[in-house]
Amino acid sequence: MNAIILLGPPGAGKGSLAESLVREGYTHVSTGDMLREAFKNETAVGLEAKSYMDRGALVPDDVIINIIRERLGDAPADEKFMFDGFPRTLNQAQGLDQLITDLNGVITHVIMMECPDEMIIKRLSGRRICRSCGAVYHVTNKPSKVDGVCDFDGGELYQRDDDNEDTVRNRLSVYTEQTKPLVAYYADKNLICPIDASGSIQLSVDSALSYLNG
Ligand SMILES: [Zn+2]
């Protein structure tokens, strides 16, 4: 079993890259989806995780690792997994390494999307959304015909709180701080594959595939 890990700041297009890699045959591992699935099926680890969440506590790393173990343990040997949004900490990375080793698998690549902060700030802070239909615009890249008004239904365009420039700067610095130890950890293992995410999403996909298939 092979696994890859995607790392990328908010606004780098990680979701779109993940979708494209699913089309290339990778199984998307979302710990959120796995948790929900484990609750629904009332597996032992699912119930354990739920007991933490019911108390309003964070689910500990080893419980999450066990939920991943449940899912990956049944997988055919040739299945390729893609981790997105996990691991977030060094402790989780070490737990994941141990798990993949236990399952006779290998982490082959850590795809790291890189994009200058200022470009991400422009991308995200220029985003506007229609209050009535949810259409997404961008003040410079995809403006509406009339400023502040949706082309389709005349709805009011607004900026999500998350896309406010100060919030974006804060999200980026949290991401950078959180990711630093992971990058160092995987760089040590020669797994980091940096890709330039400042262009189109297709460029990101092509560059990721050149690592994965090359
Ligand atoms: Zn609209």
Which CATH number covers residue 45? Answer: 3.40.50.300
99 shares its domain with 20: yes
Same domain, 25 and 91: yes
**Which residue, among 7, 6, 10, 8, has the nearest Cα to 125 in the 3D structure?**
10
CA of 143 to the centre of ligand 1 (A): 13
Catalytic residues: 14, 88, 127, 160, 171
Integer Cα distance of 99 and 118 in angstroms: 37
Residues 121 and 106 in one domain: no
**Same domain as 16, residue 35:** yes
Residue 130 sits in the same domain as residue 76? no
Q: Are residue 127 and residue 144 in the same domain, yes or no? A: yes
Pairing status of strand 106-114 against strand 192-196 = parallel
The answer to whether residues 120 and 11 touch, using CB atoms and an 8 Å cutoff, is yes
Question: How many angstroms is it from 129 CA to the middle of ligand 1?
Answer: 8
C-beta neighbour count of 101 within 10 angstroms: 11
One domain for residues 175 and 158: no
Q: Which amino acid is at 97?
A: D
Query: Same domain for 38 and 135?
Result: no
- How much is the pLDDT for 73? 86
pLDDT on residue 16: 93
Buried b (16+ CB within 10 A) or exposed e, 166-175: ebbeebbeeb
User: If you measure from the C-alpha of residue 139 to the centroid of ligand 1, how many angstroms do you get, rounded to a whole number?
Assistant: 15
Structural domain span for residue 189: 2-115+170-213
Tell me which of 148, 163, 178 is where a domain ends. Answer: 163
What pLDDT tens digit does each residue of the chain (214 aa) get? 899 999 999 999 999 999 999 999 999 998 888 888 888 998 998 999 999 989 988 889 999 999 999 889 888 989 999 999 899 899 999 999 999 999 999 999 999 999 999 999 999 999 999 999 999 999 998 999 999 999 999 999 999 998 999 999 999 999 999 999 999 999 999 999 999 999 999 999 999 999 999 8
Q: Please check whether residues 107 and 123 belong to one and the same domain.
A: no
What's the pLDDT at 53?
Answer: 87
Ligand 1 centre from 96 Cα, in Å?
A: 43
The structural domain count of the chain equals 2
- Span from the CA of 161 to the centroid of ligand 1 (angstroms): 18
Instruction: Kindly give the distance from the C-alpha atom of residue 162 to the centroid of ligand 1, in angstroms, as a whole number.
Output: 20
Cα–ligand 1 centroid distance for 80 (angstroms):
39
Considering the domain architecture, whether residues 136 and 59 belong to the same structural domain is answered as: no
> Are residues 131 and 108 part of one domain?
no
**Cα 19 to ligand 1 centre (Å):** 25
Instruction: Identify whether residues 42 and 82 lie together within a single domain.
Output: yes
Q: Which of 94, 110, 93, 91 minimizes the C-alpha distance to 14?
A: 110
